[in-house]
Structure 1
């Protein structure tokens, strides 16, 4: 992708140059003019009440000994991905994206987010502080593989009955045509005393980026807290953990093109802790507000999962400022409109390379008045060159006098010495923004354009 993006920028510059040959006046060769001499968000407290608290809630039937139960896997086939869930931690083992491949080759392997190649990777497993619920326990489920397509939705349910007087039920709701997955985590109090604690969803990420040998790689923790995007690499938490607890809207892990995140529903995320776990993996612990469950009652924590591409339209449809995960740095305000324009023209021409050429020509037309002014200023400076050479010779032993005389010459002829540079400088941020948009656009990933 880096080569394609660089080639696209070179192509844009070439279009600018060719355009200039036809619309700019011929200018004489001129001599150079004479010089005229971190970190955690502030703590805040979210509402400390259960997200739902149901009297005499129905409990799952008593389960067998979970420590001895065999691990079970459930495969879910949707229009957009194939997900494999594991009874271990009631977690997501892997998710294979149908519309995206690792290499643009026939039969290329699909992009897979999440893997159980190492037991330290256990995405969306659940802990509960105060309940002594560990994330590596084995849940029970009566379901097998299933398919869901179109606008249909299906659920996967995992149950765990603790010998300490509580029951946990995790329900994943999947839609056939969405990258979003609803997650309900229910806690039932079977004991005679109130239980209090927090539900924690666990995400893990490899210490090494998913895409190696890539100088533009941005893999790491991404979260949106206090109306700001926060990006952390594993080196940022190697020595100590980081905590964010102010208005967290979503949290997860991302690379340049793909995002795995948990989104808050009705303030269901109170804090996020980032750390390096014992296995050396990047771990994100996403906690709910403090929950109190009275005897015979239950509480439900509802959250939304997103596992998919960092596509502008898809991210915007999810809300919760998830589109901010497409981090284009300082040039975001310019780069995102260019990215929207790229998608707009692609709808009509069906080729991203041609869409880039169209955008470049439009930018050239927009900047033509500035370009024309720059050329005119340079031509005026060129006319003054003989007089400046004469002044240089006249005041060759008095630099201050020479500078004063040159400035006076500029005033008399109404020439701005910076007039040739400033109009061009104004255009530089737009070029950088275009480069950023092309570099981080998943739409251009593996996109064909003639011979590239």
Structure 2
């Protein structure tokens, strides 16, 4: 096969792989939801050597019999709350978590901090709405991001409580009392306490907010004033539907990935699509651990107490929504004693450094895909540059300089080979004319010529092939790193993570691509020449829909490559003159 044919095939394969990976990864996480999913194999419980934690769900067989009017058959129930050990009855439908919360505003407690605006339903003490004041929905807009919410067409709430033999959430959610309907926290920490008292037991739910942190501590206090032992388990879960929020800044309204994630002893980051839970409940026991719901730049996560064995689960509820959370170990409160259990709830941006501090592997919810090993160092280098220059666009430009400097030896060898190829093209054309009827002889003569002149016909493909993984890794950095969300550059570019609405960068990229072709030797094969001429147009059209930051990287990369190639070509021409 002639070397020009090999070059064409390599180039087309490289472009095909690049296009396939981009389209596949984008549609997996940002495209429409799948119509069907393969069966999901339920994860087995892991033997930790401790007493097992039992979390039972409606419709599943239980090894624990419970008394009811019909033997061990459980009555009809709303299944928002998992049933703990020996839970005798079910919560009533009319007291389901957050039911009608915003139709009963008198039940809501409103807490405002610099980082959170929270509404807590006193029925059950669930967080039924949460806004992030430091993040706007649109660039320059006044409307802030609403992460947790409960509406007639959407639900995403954070629930917690006590279940089990004596748990207050096993027989209908308790209605807590609060000292006030609204609290404002300007600095430091603030603790909100909700109380529910009966003749025998006093329950308290404490929320600790920090004015500068997205982490909320939730504690359940029990004061047992009865003559009997109190026995319960804490549960904490995120309840959400599977709808994805629309995302502006990218054409055709692609929707960010929404799904669950866990950490397990076998898998530091186990990402589960909601559709996979339609075919079975996910269960795993983890010491400490966390369960999260991902939503593009933001994450909500319940974090279990370190050192405790918690039963984590993900499942589909009877109402079509999904629950992701855990049930903690059983605890016992003797008569006239008190006890406290708790968990932590993170609701906020995917700040890698902060998430890493909260729990092991929680930072992996910033999902850079299969090139994470390249994306992570790229992000930290980019972040370090930004800390100095203060502009993410300038940081991308300087990062491009660093990458080009790192790859300069390879690029230099490639451009030297291309310059030599340009020099031998007249001889190649003469060989093609001489051996037009003998392709094997033509191939042998051309390879001998390339070897004699030190030219490599595949050298021109090397820069593109080398840049592909960097291109993909930076692509995921730009669309997954919340630090670049709505990050401005200059003039018309207000969001580097969104497309260039005026198409200036893609057009400049196309011009730079065409200019690079002028420095390259013209392909001897007519079909290959047509393909090469079409490439600037194809890539310009493709890059119109990419984040502006990514196009900026590629544009600067092309400009630097132009300078490198021009300089090296001149040196080769002078040396051979």
TM-score scaled to structure 2, two decimals?
0.62
> Residues 96, 375 of structure 1: CA spacing in aligned structure 2 closer, same or farther, 3 A cutoff?
same
1:44 — aligned with what? Answer: 46
Q: Is the 8 A contact 1:328 1:440 kept in 2?
A: yes
Query: Secondary structure at 1:88's aligned position in 2?
Result: coil
Contact 1:94/1:116 (<8 A) preserved: yes
Secondary structure in structure 1 of the residue aligned to 2:363 = helix
Say if 2:422 is the partner of 1:451.
Answer: no
Structure 1 residue aligned with 2:564? none
2:173 equivalent to 1:137: yes
Instruction: Identify which of structures 1 and 2 has the higher relative contact order when contacts are C-alpha pairs closer than 8 Å and 6+ apart.
Output: 1
More helix by share: 2
Whether the aligned pair in 2 keeps the contact of 1:168 and 1:185 (CA below 8 Å) is yes
Can you give the 5+ residue segments of structure 1 that lack an aligned partner in the other structure? 1-30, 51-65
Q: 1:245 aligns with which of 280, 285, 293?
A: 285
Contact 1:43 / 1:246 at 8 angstroms: preserved in 2? no
Q: 2:144 aligns with which of 102, 110, 119?
A: 110
Give the equivalent residue in structure 1 for 2:257. Answer: 218
Could you list the per-position Cα deviations for residues 352-409 of structure 1 after superposition, in whole angstroms to 9, with x for gaps in the alignment? 2222222223322332222221111222334444555566566666655655555455
Pair 276,104 (structure 1): closer, same or farther in 2 beyond 3 Å: same
With over 3 angstroms needed to count, the CA separation of the structure-2 counterparts of 1:211 and 1:317, relative to structure 1, is farther
Deviation at 1:301, TM superposition (A): 2.5
Work out which of the residue numbers 77, 85, 102 in structure 1 matches 2:120: 85
Q: Retained in 2: the 8 A contact 1:139–1:158?
A: no
Query: What is the Cα deviation at residue 261 of structure 1?
Result: 0.7
Kept after mapping to 2: 8 A contact 1:76/1:83 = yes
Could you tell me how far 1:180 is from its partner in structure 2? 0.8
Instruction: Please state if 1:427 is matched with 2:462.
Output: no
Report how far residue 140 of structure 1 moved: 2.1
8 Å CA contact 1:85–1:93 kept in 2: the answer is yes
Secondary structure of 2:370's counterpart equals helix
Give the direction of change, closer, same or farther, for the CA distance of 1:269–1:83 in structure 2 (3 Å limit). Answer: farther
Q: Residue 240 of structure 2 aligns with which residue?
A: 205
Alignment of 1:36-435 (within 5 A): 40-46=42-48, 48=50, 72-106=107-141, 108-118=142-152, 121-131=156-166, 133-134=168-169, 137-144=173-180, 145-150=182-187, 152-161=188-197, 168-187=203-222, 198-211=233-246, 214-215=253-254, 217-226=256-265, 227-247=267-287, 249-268=289-308, 270-386=310-426, 388-389=428-429, 403=443, 406-435=446-475
Q: For residues 137-173 of structure 1, what are the alpha-carbon distances to aligned partners after superposition, in whole Å with 9 as ceiling and x for unaligned?
A: 13323422323333x222222334578x665432211
- 1:129 offset after TM fit, Å? 3.2
* Residues 356, 363 of structure 2: 8 Å contact kept: yes
Q: 1:421 to 1:41 in 2, by over 3 A?
A: farther
Q: How far has the Cα of 1:280 moved from its partner? A: 1.6
SS in 1 for 2:486: coil
C-alpha distance in structure 2 between counterparts of 1:333 and 1:35, whole Å: 31
Deviation at 1:414, TM superposition (A): 4.6
Compared with structure 1, are the counterparts of its residues 111 and 282 closer, same or farther at alpha carbon in structure 2 (3 Å cutoff)? same
Change (3 A) 1:126 1:269: farther
Q: What is the SS of the residue equivalent to 2:374?
A: helix
Deviations 1:301-344 (A, max 9, x none): 33211111112343344343221111011222222223223333
For 1:354 and 1:230, locate their aligned partners in 2 and report how far apart those are by CA, in whole Å.
35
CA distance in 2 between counterparts of 1:402 and 1:41 reads 61
Q: CA 1:246/1:418 → structure 2, altered by over 3 Å: closer, same or farther?
A: farther
2:439 and 2:329 map into 1 onto residues whose CA distance is 71
Once the two structures are TM-superposed, the CA of residue 89 in structure 1 deviates from its matched residue by 1.2
Task: Classify the secondary structure of the residue corresponding to 1:238.
Answer: helix
CA distance in 2, matches of 1:195, 1:403: 87
Give yes or no for contact 2:316–2:322 (8 Å, CA) kept in 1.
Answer: yes
Relative distance call for 1:318 and 1:149 in structure 2 (3 A) is farther
**Kept in 1: contact 2:244–2:256 (CA 8 A):** yes
Q: CA deviation at 1:191?
A: 5.6
Measure the CA separation in 2 of the matches of 1:411 and 1:240.
Answer: 62
Instruction: Give unpaired runs (5+ residues) of structure 2.
Output: 10-39, 53-93, 96-103, 494-577
State the distance in 2 between where 1:186 and 1:438 align: 43
* CA gap 1:370/1:40 in 2 versus in 1, 3 angstroms: farther
Tell me the TM-score normalized by structure 1.
0.77
Change (3 A) 1:122 1:395: same
Equivalenced residue count is 403
